Amino acid sequence: MATNISDRLRAGVTTRTAEETRALAAEWAAALPADATVALHGDLGSGKTTWVQGLALGFGINEPVTSPAFTIYTLHSGPERMLAHMDAYRLRSAQEAEDLLIEEFLVSPWCLAVEWPDRVPGWISRDALHVGLEIEADGRHSIRLRGR
């Protein structure tokens, strides 16, 4: 039986390569609602940034998505929607998180993808989609869409 990408991710998927992870994220990108917050949970190296790279691919965004050393978030505009990529790892305080003013830059339709979402609870809307990433003992990466 053919199942859609969200159902597959909800059941949990494992990938062997970053390329495979990006391809899944790119497929999922098309299933996202117009204005979507995506909270990416997982340890360092679990594939959060790789997932965002896949989202960008899916949105037709060609510029590279990286883990910036000094910025908390990067805005990418694309032909279908804009992608705001936040990496909250280096945020030091709740105040710093509040001061980001991202909403001023979000133009619908947008996707706000957040690494380390627990550090910026104020930016994670109630309708956010939560994705958990893990490295398995055998080196594969697992991806699971939580909730709905």
Ligand X SMILES: Nc1ncnc2c1ncn2[C@@H]1O[C@H](COP(=O)(O)OP(=O)(O)O)[C@@H](O)[C@H]1O
Interface residue with ligand X among 7, 30, 31, 45 (CB under 6 A) is: 45
CB closer to ligand X out of 97 and 143: 143
* Candidates 12-20, 49-57, 70-78, 134-142; binding stretch for Mg ion (CB under 5 A): 49-57
Q: In what order do the strands lie in the sheet with 73-76?
A: 13-15, 141-146, 129-135, 36-41, 110-115, 82-87, 73-76
Q: Is 85 in the site for ligand X (CB under 6 A)?
A: no
Angle between helices 48-58 and 18-29 (to 10 degrees): 50
Q: Is 68 in the site for ligand X (CB under 6 A)?
A: no
The CA distance from 23 to 100, in Å, is 30
* Candidates 2-10, 44-52, 73-81, 100-108; binding stretch for ligand X (CB under 6 A): 44-52
**Chain residues that interact with Mg ion, rule: CB under 5 A:** 48-49, 67, 115
